[in-house]
Structure 1
Amino acid sequence: MPTDRQPHEVARPARQGTSGGLADPVTGRVLDGRYRIGPRIARGGMASVYEATDLRLDRVVAVKVMHVGLGDDEEFAARFVREARAAARLSHPNVVAVFDQGDDQGTVFLAMELVPGHTLRDVIAKEAPMSPSRALALVEPVVSALAAAHRSGIVHRDVKPENVLIADDGRVKVADFGLAKAVGTDTQHTATGGVLIGTVSYLAPELVSEGISDARADVYAVGVLLYELLTGAKPHEGESPIQVAYKHVHEDVAPPSRLVPSLPGYVDALVARATSRDRGLRPADAGVLLHHVHRVAHALAEGVREDPELTQDLAPLLLHPDTGEIVVEEPGPARPPGPGVDPGATGDHEPTSMLRTVSAPDSPVRAAALPGLPGLPDPRGPQPDAPASAVSPARPAGPARRRRWRGPVAVLLAVLLATTLGIGAWWYGWARYSTVPSVLEQGRASAVAELEDAGFEVVLGEAVYSNRVPEGRVVTAEPGAGSRALEGDEVTIVLSLGIEQYPVPELAGRTLEEARSALAEVELEVGRVKERFSETVPDDQVVRSTPGPGKELRPGAAVDLVVSKGRKPVNVGDWVGEPADEAQRTLERKGLVVQRNEDVFSDDVAAGDVVAQEPTGGTLFKGDTVTLTVSKGPELVEVPGVRAQGVDAARAQLESLGFVVQVENISDYLGLGYVFRTDPGAGELVPKGSTITLFLV
């Protein structure tokens, strides 16, 4: 059957050449001054996907480029933009990330995550039919991704194996939100007059017949996908897409155990629940379906061969009152009514129905006609017609007369017996059961009143979040609407908590790991983490978060954090030999405390400059102390008066004071050897160690 194939836009298969040897005009271009386009890796009806290099961030990405000419079509361009916005709103490990969207001189493109690997279609071709455990392991991340989309109010609308990517490391990612649309928006979808968007093999019946789509359309597509993994075949085949679409509307998806008899009954029930033609019987969204998938996967992991309770809980159909097996209605053979049966019971030559029980896989699937149902063959086979003529009661009784009465009496008794059995079977198999009314999206009081009026006991299940159903209204009911149950049976209704949102917890003062755990508890994620110095918050603790505490966010939303790197180190520097006042001003501007020691004399450092400091360099923190020792310059000594003293005595006195003595004769030297004068003169203050010249007479 023809299928609508989209490019595997982020799965990187073996590189393919260009058609006919012609160079691809996009390859080699640099789009938006940022993305250098490499080889084409996939091509679809409206776009091609290329491996490209992000020149700005130096990384390899996938770039989907709309085909030439389509960019002028507003509808196609809007779809491209819608895909970028829809996917960019989702932050989930199983959703292909969209990085950028742009228009480079008419070339409309998307830049997205490149996932080296293959698609689920390749897995189906190689492995299907596969074990139910393997099938659920592949489906679970798909449902998880769709659950995140549904929580954000997004319906994918094109779930199919080609849009499920399997990375080389085993990661599963859902791609191509090009058909995605916000929940509740109108969609033109008809089988004959509208535009069938999406791959017809996976279209939900309501998309074909009513033109409406919500999260349950994605649930239906996942159910079809699961059937295909389990059996290796699509549930509905046809010569044309219209024939396939017709079957989606008018035929149920058969139990996969018809093709794989070893499958447990609860796996059949899961597929039946997800692919119910009545969308009211399907899980409300992928979040509910994910819960069912986990239950089935757990049963398989535990090695449970059959679980009637789980099967009954999952099955959207009626259950046989005696065996508990799934009962579905099938058209029976058209036949004239048998003897003794009122032709008006079913309508002359109209098709009747039989009840078929879907038995456990260990026993063959059987179709059994229950006795007494109108229109079913008499178990005794055809009966002869009664005699047309009546016998006069006045005739004497004899053997012949007794024989003539024996036939009609036997027929009458057989009819009475068959009628009694039929009424009993009708009563015990159908009439004593009541139909569960639909209470979806009703308020609690209204739903309880309607169910109790119908004779059922109402049990309130644990409330759940819903992006579709307003707070306080019914999300699901078990058994679902249209199910048959005994009066007095329990019907469990689950109320909506409204849109799932969680307040951002107080994160300041927690370590980064503690913040991650606190966010995970409310289904939020850590976004960007920036490190900043802080004088008050210790190292590796959160300084603040954006959004702040108390802000309510959807599950999966990111919270940005600023994390402390501890106190900021301050460079002290080496100030020895530098002016002390300048050193003090600079250090105090940096937040350090300057302490000046008692000034000291220094023969080497000028007065007012730093002689020594502690610490001698390195780094400190604000508020730490730096000690400076400041020079008073050299020590000054007063030159004593030594005039008229002998040269030896004068020399001794000056040298005792630390001076260096130099002797010279005056111009009129007489040879007496007495000091006539000194330079510097007596009484002057000079540095210790200065040279004093003695002039002798």
Structure 2
Amino acid sequence: MTTSQTDPMIGRLIDGRYQVRSRIARGGMATVYLATDLRLERRVAIKIMHGHLADDSTFKNRFVQEARSAARLAHPNVVNVFDQGQDSDMAYLVMEYLPGITLRDLLKDYGKLTPEQTIDIMEAVLSGLAAAHKAGIVHRDLKPENVLLADDGRIKIGDFGLARAASANTATGQALLGTIAYLSPELVTRGVADARSDIYALGIMMYEMLTGEQPFQGEQPMQIAYQHANDAVPAPSAKNPAVPAELDELVLWATEKDPDRRPRDAREMLDRLLEAEKSLRGEAVLQPTMVLPPAFEVDAGETQIINPAIRQQVAASTPAATDTLTKAAQKRRSKGWWLFALVILLAGVAAGTGWYFGAGPGSLVAVPNVVNTAPDAAASRLVKLGFKTTQAPEYSTTIAKGMVSSTDPAAGVHAAHGSTVTLRVSQGPKPVTIPALAGKSLDEAKGLITGVGAKVGDTVQQFDAKVPANTVISATRADTGADISGGGPYFEAAAVNLVVSAGAIPDVAGKSVEDATAALAKVGLLTSAGPQSYSDTVPEGKVISAQPQHEPVRPNDTLLLETSKGPEPVAVPDVVGKNWADAKKALTDAGFQLKYSAIADVAPSAFVVSKISPGAGTEQPKGSTITINFAGF
């Protein structure tokens, strides 16, 4: 049964633009198809996430991350990413199509490579990776399967599905998704990856290219991981004596267990590789690498790197073959001479074809970067290079309205003379409508903001006795400060600032200063000594109130603690010589308690006060007791 009969994607039109032709490969997360871009009339590779992963946000984010990481790079040794999107429930990624094989296929066919072939391939891989590292991108999944060898001789790095920003340097479970055979010790033990982790993986790949096998092997993945974490990678020459000392040193440097002792990035390792190449090729002129079919399968659609010396290596290390293998080798050699003859023939007509592909209508020109320039100026520059142009609107949060925000094809992509480059002109940020936010919980408000494409700006708390804790009090536009608590028009990616209730300030009246300070500290408030006041209700030394120094009160503000001096002192009235009725009224009105003979209440006006204690005129606290004596008693 053919692939077209079993795969429903064959023949499908994706997003009204990409016509699926055939399946190229299938992986754990996605399937790659050969497709035709009907708009630009070119072959592309389209990577479609498996349907059962479409609802998993983690996998979908990782899929989108691949597009964003690779799209940031424009380098001859990195697979170009043209487009990314979603058609119904399918997430897809559009890349340049590179007919050929992978480095893994090459190693399967030939076991190990010569030092010269290894240098050629590593030079291309390090060049592409150096561009990624310079852009702040760590690949995190370098292995022979992700090194593509195109039929036309180009070598490119692909599959940035695990790439992360180098500055993040974070540890996640995703770190161990990289193939275990190429994981650095820090990824195995701590889950931390940076540019030096990619260098370690390249060192393992280089060892495998020179020796035909990986340095660490085991029946279980954990056995291999343990060796990466604890054992030193041996010199390749211990397995293959033909490996020169310069490449031994490069492999050992790249695979140091301590990341600080490795090259800091791909550029530093590339410089050392070029020095080694100069040293080696300065001693003997090496024959150039040729592109030929696989060892035991003649197929013009597949690619392999080989030079004349490799046949001698293969013959010397391979036992006597059967007649079939002998015929295959003879066929391979005859085709190699035919290709050599073809090269000579092509050199003879290079003048004509050179014009067609170099300056004529068949040439390819890199699309220049015209982002953030005026459309007329961008069109003029493109026309001078032989392109046609058209314009299309596009919302942008980073490029000013009226300026070019992106191009299709993207900057750095090679396109044919006379092809059309679409200039996408920024319309500014996309308008959005913010829902009402006041009265919503903080989490709910954040979801409403991000749900329409805006972003959450500054979030501050303030104490409010009328609004429950963790509830939005107000919202404002970050650009103008205008109130947007009840919702209103805004723009995509613009920030909304929120004021959120921290609840009521705790009531500390009647508490000791220590207890009041502790209670306020629990909600993030500081305290300082405040005024002292008389109080008839709060005992001396206790807190009367916590006084804000400004409104509104927010966490980390300082409150002044007002403390009690007890009741206010009052002068004792002079009632000596007055009858009891008048004297009693004067003393009780002044706030004193009285101690006297109860018989005086029988006929108050008949009793005269002869003495009081404490005496008249002395200041006594309100509520204190005055002792009364009467004349004749």
TM bucket (normalised to shorter chain) is 0.3 to 0.5
Structure possessing the higher radius of gyration over alpha carbons: 1
TM-score by length of 1: 0.41
Larger proportion of helix: 2
TM-score by length of 2: 0.46
